[in-house]
Amino acid sequence: MKIDFFSALSRPEYECLEFHDESKLSNQQRNEVFECVRKCLFLLLEGIGHQQQIIPADERLRHDLDNWVQEHLTHLFPEKLQALKVLVDTSAQVGEYFYAHCSHETKLVMAITTLILFASDDDTLLSPEERNRLSSFSCNDGYSPPDASPWTAVLTHGLQLGAEYFGSKDPLVGSLSANAIRGFTEACTMEYRMEQGDLPVHLTIHGKPHPSSEWCAAEAFPGYLRSMSGISFHYIPPIFKYSRTEEVPSPYWLGVAPVVRNFIDYTNDLLSYPKEVLDGEIRNYLLLATRARRVAGRSSMFGSKLWTFRDTFCETLENVQNIIFALDRAFTNYMPADNNAPEDNNKTQDDPNAQLAAKCWFSFRQNFISFHLESKRYGLDRLAFERNNCTVEELCAPKHKPMNAACVGAATAGLFLISTLGYRYFCK
């Protein structure tokens, strides 16, 4: 059931999303935004036919992860053990949910590396000095000087662990993981500097409306940053790696990996936003993309004004829905339709790798979303309950459509511009 998100967000109650600077929202306004965002997430879950999964704790995984933490991390944070425990629990859930279809070793490698990545972007654990020092990690990796700090030594351990495990059968797959971790540390540095008020110059001045056919170079930056901060290419190989010796060969999934990356990044952006708006976080993809569109002078889809968060949110909902449908088609094309289908349509019927790739995708697709709804980190625990207490018709029926043909053209051209520039689309 495909949802028309523009019609849904055209309703008057979504006018509270027409902001571009979240720092100016009052607590009451934040709560209004929170409720509207949750309603739209309900629509997305209905549109893609999500079936919530509750996966029990894996005691063996948690035992082995705790042992690793005791050996490598506890001595680094003797006064922050409670904050560390929260990240350990979330990282264990990542292994349990994302890779429920995989072996113990795949789950453990991903839980360990996720913990390292979460901690690298968490100011409750790392001091400002340590977060700033992350900027040396990739640079140092290029010419191999000694590790700059105890934490960058931990990062090196995580990078090597992922590269060795995921490259055990195919070095290309191992390098995808390693390069994603390098890019993530660079994104952490950029985001930390922006948190300190050091925005890129081209994102600091708002433009005036101009023809939608006119390109703006600054529009590509949010996607570029998100493609690194999402570290998606570290999370894609294990989807298809059951164990150290068993995996789906990369030709069966590499061609759609960029779109799987989009699924991971954009879905996380949407599902993490409710907690971000309540926490007052102002450095996230949705807000940065809104700023970039305003710098470019893009007109809103919802009236004759500059682009707002409402536009970015609507566009991202549409993108995620379309991405999921496209990936479902891409993987099911390798699955036999039925026993009576023409032979040409069933040429991959007996290919176990093609069928396994599809099964891996559908497991990850369901459990990636389920993780966000079940984890305390995101505050979405009642969303599944709310799905039983309202209908799509109640939330989606349009009450007015303020968009005119010119705005439609501008929005379409904006989407084309993003794809042309290579505008790239987890967990925060």
pLDDT value of residue 404: 44
Quick one: DSSP state of residue 247? B
- Interval 67-88: pLDDT, tens: 999 999 999 999 999 999 999 9
pLDDT value of residue 58: 98
- Interval 355-378: pLDDT, tens: 999 999 999 999 999 999 999 888
Residue ranges of domains in the chain, CATH in brackets: 5-337+347-420 (1.10.600.10)
CB 162 within 8 A of CB 109: yes
Alpha-carbon gap, residue 374 to 381, rounded angstroms: 5
- Interval 289-329: pLDDT, tens: 999 999 888 899 998 789 999 999 999 999 999 999 999 99
DSSP notation for 207-221:
-----TTS--GGGGH
Quick one: DSSP state of residue 196? T
Q: Read off φ and ψ for residue 319, nearest 5 degrees.
A: -60, -45
pLDDT value of residue 75: 95
- Report which of 149, 185, 137 is spatially closest to residue 76, judged by C-alpha positions: 149
Alpha-carbon gap, residue 78 to 36, rounded angstroms: 41
pTM: 0.85
Report residue 51's pLDDT band, with 50, 70 and 90 as the boundaries: very high
Question: What are the angstrom distances between the C-alpha of 313 and each of 15, 34, 162, 173, 282?
Answer: 12, 12, 33, 33, 15
The label of the residue with tokens 């479902």 reads 328
- Report which of 12, 85, 94 is spatially closest to residue 57, judged by C-alpha positions: 94
Report residue 285's pLDDT band, with 50, 70 and 90 as the boundaries: very high
End-to-end CA distance of the chain: 29
> Using alpha carbons only, how large is the chain's radius of gyration in Å?
22
Quick one: DSSP state of residue 197? T
Q: Which two tokens stand for residue 245?
A: 């010796």
Alpha-carbon gap, residue 277 to 245, rounded angstroms: 43
- Interval 216-249: pLDDT, tens: 888 888 888 888 887 899 999 999 999 999 999 9
- Interval 7-44: pLDDT, tens: 999 999 999 999 999 989 999 999 999 999 999 999 99
**Share of residues in the chain with pLDDT > 70 (%):** 82
Q: Which residues pair with 398 in a beta bridge?
A: none
Alpha-carbon gap, residue 125 to 118, rounded angstroms: 10
- Interval 150-202: pLDDT, tens: 898 899 999 999 999 999 999 999 999 999 999 898 888 888 888 887 888 88
Alpha-carbon gap, residue 363 to 99, rounded angstroms: 8
Average pLDDT score over the chain: 85
Alpha-carbon gap, residue 286 to 266, rounded angstroms: 9
